[in-house]
Structure 1
Amino acid sequence: MKKLMYSSAFYTLLGLLSGLFYREMSKAENFSGYSQLNVTHTHLLVLGTIMFLIFMVIEYQLTLTAHKQLFNYFFYIFHLGVLVTVAMQFINGIAAMKDFSVSPAIAGIAGLGHIMITIAFILFFVLLNKRINANNTNRL
């Protein structure tokens, strides 16, 4: 459970720092348009902070960590997916503010981050199903 709590706190810190970075960078560059840097703050707070708080509540109710290997796959793939996705948002956002062009590979890497998040959610629902079935069996 502490892994989930520390993860939530980590993403809260990253989310707040990314919001600060966006505000200061947009002021420094005198930038008022849209860039992907605008949404990194929200992505980190929602996919990181809020999701890990939700995972923590579900862990408390269903003990997801009882399936240690499956839980770890989900946990680390989710982290990797969120961090890769947000890193590519940072690169695209900074490039937009600096008026640089970026390689289409950045979009491809961001797509891989989204795929990792999708795989992590699939693993999460498999894990959730196993724990619900285990809890129902224990109640009989």
Structure 2
Amino acid sequence: MRRLYFASLAYMITGVLSGLFYREFTKANDFPAGQFTQLGLVHTHLLTLGFIVLLIVLLLEKVFALSQHGKLFDWFFWLYNAGLIVTSGGLVWHGTLTVLGRESSAMTSGIAGLGHMLLTAGMVIFFIILGRSLKTTTIAAPAAQRVEA
């Protein structure tokens, strides 16, 4: 559970800093306000897919003990995080080139696509783990809802 907490915290910090970088980098390079660049997507990707999703996984871990699935949970954790890092890195690279007025190559899009594939693989494994946990876990009703005989 601690690694989920620290990963979520790291994504929250990185997400906020990426928003700051986006604002200051576009200002410093006189990039027209409102014009699209993928730098703006990094902030939301890191905060949503990193910070929020991993907080939700942390809550599900607390309820369903998802990590009891050992190596399968490790595969989810590392594939998902690798995918998010690669995707975000591709967005930063592509967005930076856009702000600087340079063309990006197909390789940049390919790397971002690879990151999305890793994210998808991580999510598939997560749902396998969650499905298995739902089959084996029973959740007791809160004390206030229990009916005594």
Aligning the two structures, in what range does the TM-score lie when normalised by the shorter sequence? Answer: over 0.9
One-letter amino acid matched to 2:109: A
Alignment of 1:19-34 (within 5 A): 19-31=19-31, 32=33, 33-34=35-36
CA distance in 1, matches of 2:131, 2:23: 42
Question: What is the total number of aligned residue pairs between the two structures?
Answer: 136
One-letter amino acid matched to 1:16: V
Tell me the residue number matched to 2:118.
Answer: 116
Query: Deviation of residue 105 (structure 1)?
Result: 0.9
Tell me the residue number matched to 2:129.
Answer: 127
Q: Which consecutive aligned stretches of 4+ in structure 1 deviate over 6 angstroms post-superposition?
A: none
CA distance in 2, matches of 1:128, 1:102: 39
Once the two structures are overlaid, the 10-residue window that deviates more, 80-89 or 24-33, is: 24-33
% identity of equivalent residues:
38
Which structure has greater helix proportion? Answer: 1
One-letter amino acid matched to 2:7: S
* 1:95 aligns to 2:92 (yes or no): no
Q: Which consecutive residues of structure 2, in runs of 5 or more, have no partner in the other structure?
A: 139-149
> In structure 2, the residue corresponding to 1:34 is in which secondary structure?
coil
Alignment of 1:54-65 (within 5 A): 54-65=56-67
Largest Rg, 1 or 2? 2
Query: Deviation of residue 6 (structure 1)?
Result: 0.5
CA distance in 1, matches of 2:37, 2:105: 16
Query: What are the superposed Cα offsets for residues 40-68 of structure 1, whole Å, 9 maximum, x if unpaired?
Result: 10110000000000000100100001011
